[in-house]
Each structure stands twice: as structure tokens, then as C-alpha cells.
Amino acid sequence: MRSVLITGGSEGIGFELAKLFAKDGYRPVLCARSEEKLKRAQQIIQNEYGVLCRTVTADLSQEDSAAELYAQLEGEDITHVILCAGRGILSESWNVSAAEEKDTLILNVYSCVELAKHFMRRMKETGGGTIVFIASTGAFQSGPYVASYYASKAYIQSYAGAVQREAEPYGIHVSCVCPGPVRTGFYEKIRSSAPWYAMDAGRCAAYIYAHLDRHMIVPGLMNRMLRAVPASLKADMLARMKEKSLKKKAG
């Protein structure tokens, strides 16, 4: 049975994508840090779609975790890899510790790149496959008060565009997804709230799934329109929003 690996697959966009793949007969292989959330996601998928769902508990913010995850999956017929796991920190950049910064960059950048390398090598030998990087509309601008998150997504967007051209001759399709704000647990984790125009995770995932043949996927009409707004203006607007969030967080 064809399998799809989804990091960050226990909730949010990753979980919603897992359900769509399961509906089409794929075997989801979900990876996340929380064993409890993974078990809940596994039960829902198996009960609703009648397909086996494998879970792997792993913290991809730790060094060597990507290599360890790949080693556990060598026997799986994985045709699609969805690199969805990520985190952000809401704070003035100088108040983010070096350890927190390192963990964020390993999770958002290094683990994604390492897993993509492993699977592209395998797909090159087997005749093709699909790699999907989940970036953000933050990739198109700087992000005051969430500096590392936005910078990491800019790296992923650039990297995905490059490897897409390298991999295409070998039958490997590479997509980069750049969602705007989505109503998921992401905002709760950074002790903030999603803006009023944030997309529903299920709707976002449905758009992504329907457009997997594209190299660049930007869910939401407003998000596609906002790409035309100057990056400096968007950064100023973001700064004002995040300053309010920080004051609320401090209070």
C-alpha cells in the first residue's frame, strides 16, 4: 500500500491532509512529538476511513532526529512526504534564548532539509515521488517579533524552489505551500490569537490537496492578493499586531 509521511501530522494542517490522503486509500504515517495526540489522530483516521495508520513519536527539533526517523521508515512504500512540523516564538528576538533559537531552526529548517534529502535519494532510485514543504506567506517578508519563524520559512521557500528544478528530471515533484494564518494550535502555543481572517485548517488542507500538482501553492484568495503588497508595509502591519499580542501576553 502506498504511504504518505506527514510530519506534524497529529493536528492542524498535517492532520487534515492525512484524512484526505486516507480517503484516497493512502496509508498515513504520522510523526509528531505527542504520543497522546498521535494516538487520537490514528484512531480517528482508522475508524473513519478504514485504512491502517502508523504513528512515530519523534521530536524533530533535536539533532539526529531526522536521520533516526528515516531509519525507522525504510520498509515503508512512501510516495509522498509532507514536511509540516514547525514552531514559532513570539518575543523580541534578543529575549529568545540560544537553545530555543537552535531548536526552532532545527525543526523548521534542518530536519525538513535532511528528510527531503533522504527521501529524494530514495525516490530517484525508485522512479519518482512527491515532496511537499509547508512554508508560510511569512516567507515573502520579514517577521518582527517572530523573526526566526519567518526567516526559517523564507529559507524553506527558497530551498524548495531550487530542489524542484533539480529533482524534476527524475520524476520527483516538489511543492512549496505558503499558507497565511490558519486556525490551529500554533497560536495557542505562542500565547497569541489567530487574526480574524485566518483560514480553517480543513479548508486550507483541501486547497493544498487539490493543487498538489503545482510547485507553489498559496491557499486563500486574500493571501494570494497580499503577495502584491510591498514587504516593508506588511512587516510594519505585522509589527503592530504582534506588539499588541506581546502586551496582552505580558498582562
Please state, in angstroms and rounded to a whole number, the distance separating the CA atoms of residues 104 and 100: 6
Angle, in degrees to the nearest 10, between helices 12-23 and 35-49: 30
Please state, in angstroms and rounded to a whole number, the distance separating the CA atoms of residues 94 and 91: 8
Question: pLDDT of 16-70, one tens digit each?
Answer: 999 999 999 999 999 999 999 999 999 999 999 999 999 999 999 999 999 999 9
- First vs last C-alpha separation in the chain: 52
Number of separate domains in the chain: 1
Range of the domain at 169: 3-250
Please state, in angstroms and rounded to a whole number, the distance separating the CA atoms of residues 157 and 177: 8
Cut 0.85: pTM above it: yes
Q: Which residues contact 60 (CB under 8 A, 6 or more apart)?
A: 7, 31, 33, 66, 69, 85, 106, 107, 111
Question: pLDDT of 102-156, one tens digit each?
Answer: 999 999 999 999 999 999 999 999 999 999 999 999 999 999 999 999 999 999 9
Q: Output the domain CATH number for residue 123.
A: 3.40.50.720
